[in-house]
Chain A
Amino acid sequence: MRLLVGLFLLLEVNAIAQTYTELALRRAQYLLNGTTPTDEEFALYGVDENAYKAAVRQMINDERFYDSVLRYHERIFGVGLPDEYLIELINEDIDGKQDKFASLTCDRREGANSRFICAWTKDYEDGKGTGCPESQEVAASVFWYPEIAAWVCPSVITNCGQDLSKCFIQYGDEEAAKNAELGATETFDSRFAVIKSLSRQAAGIATAIAVENYPYTKILEPGVTAVDGAIAHFYQQTHHFKIDQLNLNSQVLEFLPQLSLTDTRFKLIKAGGDNYSRGGVISSFGWLRRYDKNRTRANELYKRLLCRNFTAELPAIFPQDPGNLRTAAACRSCHEVLDPLADFFLSWGEGAEIYTGSSAAVDTSFAGCQGSSVQELAQCVQQLPGFQTCTVQNVWEWVVGRGFYKEESDLRDGLVEYFQTTNYSFRELVYAIVTHPVFMTAARTDALVTDPLEAPPLGEVPTVEAECDTVISYAADIAPLSANNCDQCHSAGSDRQDLTTEDQWAALGETAVGMMVSGSMPPGGFNESVQTLAQNVKCWLEQ
C-alpha cells in the first residue's frame, strides 16, 4: 500500500514546465495537421531540436497537411459563393418544358430494416415514397458512397444511370447534408457539395500545386485547373446546367472520366489548346464570380497575390463627374494602375454575365508587362518578385501569427531567396519558417505589428546578366536556339504565341527573356541552351 502511495506521489505532484520544443511541437502540429500531440509524441519529438525538425517533416508529408493548406488558401483567396450562384446556372428550358430539373431526393425509410431510397424530388415532396410499389423497386449504387445501395424506381436508373450520377441529388436532412463529406457517408446533397467545391476551386488549385510540390508559380499557369468529385459530378450535368457557358477548356470535360466522383481532394488538370482567357486561380469560376467586376478582379489580385493595396487620399470635394479615372487628378493615383490591370480580364463578362458578356480585348500593361489577355497577365505575375515575396509574407503570417517588422527586412529577403532556391517549393517554405528560431521560441508577442515592413516591391520583370561584347545576329545566334527550345510550341498555327520571326522576337523578346529566366518557359526549365538564348536575346535587343 505504501509503495502505491509513493508511486502516485512521484507521478502526480511536480508539474514540469514545458520546453520550447514541446511548445513549438504543439503549435506546429495543430497548424499543419489539425491535431494535438500525445504524451507519446511529446516524448519522441519534443526532446530536442533535431527530433522536432523530423516531426515537422512528417507533418508536411502527412495526409492532413492537405486540409490545413486548403484552409490556408481559402482564407488567402477569400472566395466563397452563395447558393444562388448555382441556381443562376440552372438550364431552365430542358426539352422545352418548365420544371424539368431532374433531381432526386434520398433518405432512409423509418422502421426496422429501413431501406435507403431515392425518389424523384416531386414524388418525395408529395409523400409518394419512391413513386412506385415496393415490389417494383430496384437496387442502384450511389456514386457518392459506393458502400450502400439505394432502392429506386426503374425510371430513375433509366434517367440517372446505374450509379445515379447523371442526376442532381438532394438529401432529406439538410443540416446533416451541409457538413457531410463526399465518400464518407450516405448523406449527400449536390447543392451544398457543388457550391462548396466551386467556392474552394481556386484554393484547390493552389493546394494541389503546393502539396504535390510543383513550383508555386504554377498556381497562375494558363490551362491549369483542379476538379474534385463534386465538381466532376457537376460538370457532367450538361442537361441541367449551362456548363457550356462556363467557358471551360474543352479538354477539361474530356478528362472527367479519369476522375473519381468520390474524390474529396482536388485533382490537377492541365489542359492544352486555347488558354487565352485562363490563368490558373484568377480564372477559376469562384474568383471570377465572387469578384464579379474586372476592377474587383484586378484589385483582389493586387491585394491577395501581390500584398499591395490601392490607397489614396480622396479630395475634400469629390468631383461629380471625374471623367477618365486614369487621368482625373483625384483618381489617377490608383486608377492609372488599376484600370489597365482590369483590362486584362475583358475576355470575361461581369456579374451574372460572366459567361456571355465578354468585351473585345485591348492592349494593356501592368508592372512592365504588355499584353491583352488573362493568360499574359498570369504569366507576368508569375515572374514578379512581388508575387514571390507576397507568398512568403502570407505563409509567414499564417504560422507566425503576425506580419514582418521593419527590422526583419533581411529575414524576409532571406526567406524569399530560399523560396527561389527551392524553385518555389511551398512545402519547403513552410518547413523553413516552422523550423526557424522565431517560430520555435517559447515567448509570444502581440499579433499587432507596431512597425511593419513595407509592402514588397512589385519588382521588374527578371532579366539575365550578359556581357554584350559581340554583335548578335538573329539568324545565327537566336533562330537556331529558338528552333530547339521554342518552335515546337511557339510556331505559326499553334495555340501559343508565334516566335519564329525576327519581328516577333523584337516585339516580345523582353517578355520571353523574363519567362526563360524565371523558369516559366520552356517547360523543361532553365538549362544551358535556354540561358544562352536568353543572353543572346538580351544583347540583341540592346544593340
Chain B
Amino acid sequence: MRFRGTIVSNLILFGLVCQILSGCYFFRKRSPGVEATTSGVVGESLGAKAGSVDEEALALVHAISSSYPAAGIRPDPDVMVRNLLLEYRDLGSTVAREIGRVEAYRLLLGGANQDFTIVPQDTYDATSLLAKLKVAEEICMGLVAPDEDLHPDWDSILPAGPEDSATNVLYLAQRFQGKPSSAVSAETIQSLNSILETGRSEGSLSESSYIPVCATLILDADFLLL
C-alpha cells in the first residue's frame, strides 16, 4: 500500500511539474486573439473605413529613432481591480460585489471621482500605496482563498494543494510579476516562502496562508509599474 501510495504521489508531482513546464494553469483564461464583434452603424452610412497597415510607411516611421525610452506606467487605479478579477473570474454579481467591497478605497488608491474633477493619479504616494495594501488583501482573499459566503461558486486560483508551496508560489510570482517563470529569481521565491511560512497554522498551510504572498506581489515593483 505504501509503495503504491508513493508511486501515486510521484505521478501527481510529475504531472504538476509537466503542467508548470507547459504553461497550463488552473485559472480561467480567455483565448488570445478572439476577434472583436463588429457592431456596424445604424442609420446612414459613415462612409469608407480607415485603411490597414502600410508596411513600407510603417518601416519609415520605425526608422526614426529617439534617445529616450518609454516611461514606467502605473496601471489605471480605476480599472486595476476589475482587470485583475476578470483575468480569473467571469463577469457577474460576485465580481460586482467584490469591486463594491473595495470601492471605498478607490479614491485613496488615486482613482478619479465621478465627474473627473479629480483625475486618475499617474504616480504613487504613501496614501495610495497603503490603500493598495488594503485592497490587495481583500482581492487576494477572493482569488486564493475564496469564502463560501462572500464568493459563492469561486474556486482558488492556486494550481496545487496548499502544501505544494513550490508550485503555488512560482505560479503567483509569474502571474503578478508578469514575467516568465524562468525569470523569477531564487531570491524572490525565498522571500515569498518566508512570508508564506508566517501563515502556517498548526504546522499546516492552507489557502489563506497564500493571501500575504499574493498581496506582497501586488505591491511588488513589477506590479506597480509597467
Neighbouring A residues of B58 by C-beta, 8 Å: 418, 432, 435
Once the chains bind, are A402 and B71 in contact (CB under 8 Å)? yes
Once the chains bind, are A82 and B114 in contact (CB under 8 Å)? yes
A15-B182, A213-B49 are known; give 4 further A-B pairs, CB within 8 A.
A18-B180, A63-B37, A71-B78, A423-B48
Of the candidates A26, A43, A55, the one whose C-beta lies within 8 Å of that of B23 is: A43
Once the chains bind, are A13 and B186 in contact (CB under 8 Å)? yes
Q: Shortest distance in angstroms between A445's beta carbon and chain B's nearest beta carbon?
A: 5
Once the chains bind, are B70 and A445 in contact (CB under 8 Å)? yes
Q: Shortest distance in angstroms between A263's beta carbon and chain B's nearest beta carbon?
A: 8
- B5 at the A/B interface (Cβ < 8 Å)? no
Q: How many residues of A contact B (CB 8 A)?
A: 119
Of the candidates B10, B34, B50, B67, the one whose C-beta lies within 8 Å of that of A213 is: B50
Q: Shortest distance in angstroms between B13's beta carbon and chain A's nearest beta carbon?
A: 8
Once the chains bind, are B44 and A223 in contact (CB under 8 Å)? yes
Neighbouring B residues of A179 by C-beta, 8 Å: 95-97, 99-100, 103
B interface list, Cβ under 8 A from A: 10, 13, 17, 20-25, 29-30, 32-54, 57-58, 60-62, 64-73, 75-76, 78-79, 83, 86-87, 90-93, 95-97, 99-101, 103, 112-116, 119-120, 122-123, 166, 174-176, 178-186, 188-189, 225-226
Once the chains bind, are B67 and A407 in contact (CB under 8 Å)? yes
Can you list 28 pairs linking A and B with CB atoms under 8 Å apart?
Answer: A12-B189, A15-B186, A22-B180, A27-B70, A27-B226, A31-B73, A39-B181, A42-B23, A63-B35, A71-B79, A80-B116, A175-B100, A175-B101, A185-B93, A187-B93, A212-B39, A213-B49, A214-B49, A251-B43, A270-B42, A400-B70, A401-B70, A401-B72, A422-B57, A445-B71, A447-B72, A447-B73, A525-B48
- A79 at the A/B interface (Cβ < 8 Å)? yes
- A258 at the A/B interface (Cβ < 8 Å)? yes
Neighbouring A residues of B179 by C-beta, 8 Å: 18, 22, 26, 42
Q: Shortest distance in angstroms between B114's beta carbon and chain A's nearest beta carbon?
A: 5
- A492 at the A/B interface (Cβ < 8 Å)? no
Neighbouring A residues of B120 by C-beta, 8 Å: 75
DSSP class of B's interface residues: helix, strand, loop or mixed?
Answer: loop
Once the chains bind, are A255 and B50 in contact (CB under 8 Å)? no
Q: Shortest distance in angstroms between B212's beta carbon and chain A's nearest beta carbon?
A: 20
Of the candidates A40, A63, A399, the one whose C-beta lies within 8 Å of that of B22 is: A40
A interface list, Cβ under 8 A from B: 4, 7-8, 11-18, 22, 26-27, 30-31, 34-43, 46, 55, 58-59, 61-67, 71, 75, 78-83, 173, 175-181, 184-187, 199, 208, 211-216, 218, 221, 223-224, 251, 255, 258-259, 265, 267-272, 290, 399-402, 405, 407-408, 410-411, 414-415, 417-418, 421-428, 431-432, 435-439, 441-447, 523-525
Neighbouring B residues of A18 by C-beta, 8 Å: 179-180, 183
Neighbouring A residues of B76 by C-beta, 8 Å: 71, 75
Once the chains bind, are B103 and A185 in contact (CB under 8 Å)? no
Q: Shortest distance in angstroms between A161's beta carbon and chain B's nearest beta carbon?
A: 22
Once the chains bind, are A39 and B180 in contact (CB under 8 Å)? yes
Q: Which 4 A-B pairs have the closest CB atoms?
A: A39-B23, A40-B23, A401-B71, A425-B50
